[in-house]
Chains A and B, each alone.
Chain A
């Protein structure tokens, strides 16, 4: 691991930051493509774990996910490179818009373009979700956790923070009881 490794991490995450439209979840398809398909740095399970931890931690979900993945690649320097890479395009683009383009950005055709981009993001998320389902739902109990979590969040609007914490407790209970029985 050397300077070039950190630069490589920075560039990869800058690319992810520049291509993510929307909140933390919109990043998942792009992140998956870059760090799993292209670079082969981590597994799908590792990505889901990092995303879960970022959900329950203070701060920006996308940045925390990146920092945690970066840490696994090159410890503290990796975490820093990933986090700074992730925010670099945002800072650049927003500064340019705030300085020069604010009026132009509020015109209707731009809104129309972003409405179409949101449809694309929906397609991307559904597409990625189907592969992640296979990694997360591996038996009957994880299927139950998925169903309960989905109902809790969609119908009862439970915060993702509690969902992640409760599912962790559920995981401990189920696996401990299974160990007791077999």
Chain B
């Protein structure tokens, strides 16, 4: 039965994909070979749509792939199967964290991890700046600056710093401007 196969395939992906939504991609390509649920060309469209709709990309793609394979129930089953291993693991880790909250070892671990997380977020910012504000080129120092995008970026940053505005208001503002202006 397709629901069982869907559940099992996405449960497996949820167990091995470390690194978030895009880490599930190779496994989804694998499914285009192993099953006749969807083709590699359909997968490209799915990725484009999953990246531009709200929510985690991995969940969006799982829902999409599951829907294509087994309609509404297929989408729900694929998504829930995908998150199950991680969520169960988080329950165990959460439990351990509460138990050892004041353990010196855990405090040392988090002392080391927090600046690394700051670096990961800085990296994410750098990646997205590269994509949105530099022209595409082999090496980033050869890229040209996209001045309208940079101007818009600085404008939004100024508004964020100046006013205590909700992130969604910024996104909505960008959506409206984006419907008129091409960056």
Contacts and interface: CB of A to CB of B under 8 A. Distances in A.
Using C-beta atoms within 8 Å of the partner chain, give the interface range for chain A: 35 or more
Contact of A106 (B24, B49, B59, B133): B49
Contact of B52 (A52, A58, A71, A110): A110
Interface string B72-87: 1001100110110111
B167 A60 contact: no
B153 A89 contact: no
B86 to A, nearest CB: 2
A62 interface: yes
A129 B125 contact: yes
A119 to B, nearest CB: 5
A163 B119 contact: yes
A83 B171 contact: no
Interface of B: 14-22, 24, 45, 48-60, 63-64, 67-68, 72, 75-76, 79-80, 82-83, 85-87, 89-91, 93-95, 97-98, 104-105, 107-126, 128-129, 131-133, 149, 152-153, 156-157, 160-161, 166-168, 170-171, 173-175, 177-179, 181-183
Interface of A: 17-30, 33, 45, 48-49, 51-64, 67-68, 71-72, 75-76, 79-80, 83, 86-87, 89-91, 93-95, 97-99, 102, 105-106, 109-129, 132-133, 135-137, 142-143, 145-147, 149-150, 153-154, 159-161, 163-164, 166-172, 174-176
A27 B160 CA distance: 16
Contacts of A143: 115
A29 to B, nearest CB: 5
Nearest to B177: A116
Contact of A149 (B79, B120, B149, B168): B120
A83 B87 contact: yes
Given A59-B14, A117-B171, A160-B19, 14 more contacts: A25-B120, A61-B56, A63-B83, A64-B87, A64-B89, A86-B59, A87-B59, A115-B132, A119-B153, A120-B173, A120-B174, A122-B125, A124-B170, A125-B128
